[in-house]
């Protein structure tokens, strides 16, 4: 009863107490309050704490500005970073299993290969039966023996045969030609109209040329990826990157494997946005501004435009270029959170230049006022729960006193 009378006597101080409590608590982290994700101040504060306390995964926070954007533009997916040699392929060399023809010419009849009655023959030459480069990498030529052919060009093999026959034939000349190319092949597999293996062109062809020889991609192209495997290295790029960026359309080389596959690119949007969920690019690339628009934009009753974050893993070498101290991180991938300030009009220009990557995560944090309102509503609920029975008891006492006065 005494508590009820105290509340009645001091009710004018209750709003001030509630407001003071709300302002005090709102400046702190509130793990007991419902929220869609990390608060903006938690993201910024914990990015500076890389001690690994509480077994948390360390991450780096990078604020988008023109200097960072100039670095990010060099991080677009492409072949040019992995395969730096952009020169045309060298002359095709023989491999084990290739079928080769050898033709030997002599300057006059009566030599090693041309009999003295060669006057009735059409030319002073003899053509040996076609033969394959054997498992030891050699060709067999009469009177010259085993001639090394594997990993050598036709001109090199010709000169070796000439040198072997020079002291036995009359001014010999040799022509070596590739009849059936069974090595130095290029494989194009996956989502193309005619997957196949075909001989590499001696003239040199680029990746798009090889995909065209295989009938072109089956899909529309914006959700098509091209993977190139060469000499133990592998890289994948969107098909659009080959079409619109000539630097990625590098020369194909013998024994390349090109795999074309379809994988719709998507991103995930959380937090104070118009919609939340997973969204497809529906294009071979989109900007951060386009991604936010796909998700219905920011919710103007909840969002803090200065606290839009993009979560992405970056390679160590690239993270170092961003100014991140990579010595505090383990592994080849560094967790990075990019922060763009859309409260600043210049932030929208940066957002149009920031290219999304497949599987990126965007999170828009709530404004501080939203969290304060949550806390005040919570305190109002608690005080009302405590105050209601007290008010009821007080009203009962007042009613009893009034009845006694009537009697």
Q: Which of 297, 287, 332, 295 is nearest to 313 (CA)?
A: 332
Q: Who wins on pLDDT, 197 or 47?
A: 197
Helix (H) or strand (E) holding 371: helix 368-406
Residue 61 above 50 pLDDT?
yes
**pLDDT of 336-358, one tens digit each?**
999 999 999 999 999 999 999 99
User: Tokens 């193309």, residue?
Assistant: 192
Residue 22 above 60 pLDDT?
no
Looking at residue 375, its pLDDT comes to 66
Could you tell me the pLDDT band of residue 101, with boundaries at 50, 70 and 90? very high
Judged by average pLDDT, the poorest of 20-24, 77-81, 288-292, 383-387 is: 20-24
Looking at residue 220, its pLDDT comes to 81
Could you tell me the pLDDT band of residue 236, with boundaries at 50, 70 and 90? very high
Tokens of residue 18, six digits: 């509630």
**pLDDT of 256-270, one tens digit each?**
999 999 999 999 999
Looking at residue 385, its pLDDT comes to 75
Can you tell me the distance from the alpha carbon of 282 to that of 213, in angstroms, rounded to the nearest whole number? 27
Average pLDDT over residues 315-326: 91
Residue 20 above 80 pLDDT?
no
Looking at residue 208, its pLDDT comes to 95
Q: Which of 224, 231, 232 is nearest to 259 (CA)?
A: 224
Q: Please say whether the beta carbons of 243 and 221 come within 8 A.
A: yes
Q: How far is CA 42 from the centre of its chain?
A: 28
**pLDDT of 30-42, one tens digit each?**
566 666 677 777 7
Q: CB under 8 Å to 351, separation ≥6 — which residues?
A: 64, 287, 288, 289, 292, 340, 342
Can you tell me the distance from the alpha carbon of 293 to that of 307, in angstroms, rounded to the nearest whole number? 16
Q: Please say whether the beta carbons of 114 and 95 come within 8 A.
A: no
Looking at residue 63, its pLDDT comes to 94
DSSP structural state of residue 251: B
Q: Which of 284, 198, 271, 186 is nearest to 230 (CA)?
A: 186
In the chain, what percentage of residues exceed pLDDT 70?
Answer: 84
**Torsion, Cα of 345, 347, 349, 355 (10° steps):** -160
In the chain, what percentage of residues exceed pLDDT 90?
Answer: 53
Helical segments of 238-366, H only:
239-244, 288-294, 316-321, 345-353
Average pLDDT over residues 156-181: 93
Q: Where are the beta strands (DSSP E) in 221-318?
A: 224-230, 233-238, 257-262, 266-271, 277-280, 303-315
Tokens of residue 188, six digits: 């194009």
Residue 372 above 50 pLDDT?
yes
Residue 306 above 90 pLDDT?
yes
Average pLDDT over residues 149-170: 93
Could you tell me the pLDDT band of residue 235, with boundaries at 50, 70 and 90? very high
Q: Spell 84-110 as b/e; 16+ CB within 10 A means b.
A: eeeeebeebbbbbebebebebbbeeee
**What average pLDDT does the structure give for the chain?**
84
Looking at residue 5, its pLDDT comes to 45
Average pLDDT over residues 196-222: 91
**pLDDT of 7-16, one tens digit each?**
445 544 455 4
Average pLDDT over residues 305-333: 92
Looking at residue 259, its pLDDT comes to 97
Average pLDDT over residues 94-105: 94
């Amino acid at each position: 009863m005494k508590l009820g009378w105290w509340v009645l006597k001091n009710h004018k101080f209750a709003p001030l107490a509630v407001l003071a409590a709300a302002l005090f608590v709102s400046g702190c982290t509130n793990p007991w309050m419902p929220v869609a994700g990390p608060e903006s101040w938690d993201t910024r504060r914990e990015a500076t704490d890389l001690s690994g306390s509480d077994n948390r995964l360390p991450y780096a926070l990078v604020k988008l500005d023109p200097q960072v954007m100039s670095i990010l533009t060099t991080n677009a997916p492409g072949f040019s970073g992995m395969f730096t040699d952009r020169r045309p392929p060298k002359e095709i060399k023989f491999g084990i299993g290739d079928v080769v023809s050898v033709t030997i010419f002599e300057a006059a009849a009566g030599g090693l290969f041309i009999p003295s009655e060669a006057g009735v023959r059409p030319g002073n030459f003899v053509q040996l039966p076609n033969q394959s480069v054997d498992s030891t990498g050699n060709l067999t030529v009469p009177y010259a023996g085993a001639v090394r052919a594997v990993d050598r060009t036709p001109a090199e093999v010709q000169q070796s045969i000439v040198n072997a026959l020079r002291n036995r034939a009359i001014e010999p000349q040799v022509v070596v030609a590739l009849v059936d190319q069974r090595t130095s092949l290029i494989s194009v597999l996956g989502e193309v109209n005619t997957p196949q293996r075909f001989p590499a062109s001696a003239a040199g062809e680029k990746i798009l040329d090889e995909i065209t020889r295989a009938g072109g991609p089956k899909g529309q192209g914006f959700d098509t990826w091209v993977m190139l495997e060469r000499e133990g290295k592998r890289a994948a790029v969107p098909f659009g990157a080959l079409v619109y960026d000539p630097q990625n359309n590098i020369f194909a080389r013998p024994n390349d494997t090109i795999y074309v596959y379809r994988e719709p690119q998507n991103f995930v949007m959380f937090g104070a946005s118009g919609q939340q969920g997973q969204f497809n690019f529906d294009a071979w690339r989109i900007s951060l501004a386009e991604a936010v628009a796909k998700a219905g934009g920011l919710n103007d009753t909840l969002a803090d435009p200065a606290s839009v974050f993009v979560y992405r893993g970056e390679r160590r070498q690239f993270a170092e270029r961003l100014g991140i101290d990579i010595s505090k991180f383990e592994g080849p991938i560094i967790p990075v959170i990019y922060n763009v300030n859309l409260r600043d009009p210049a932030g929208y220009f940066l957002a149009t230049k920031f290219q999304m990557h497949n599987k990126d995560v965007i999170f828009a944090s709530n404004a501080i006022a939203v969290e304060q309102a949550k806390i005040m509503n919570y305190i109002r609920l608690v005080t009302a729960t405590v105050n209601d029975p007290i008010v009821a008891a007080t009203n009962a006492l007042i009613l009893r006193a009034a009845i006694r006065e009537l009697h």
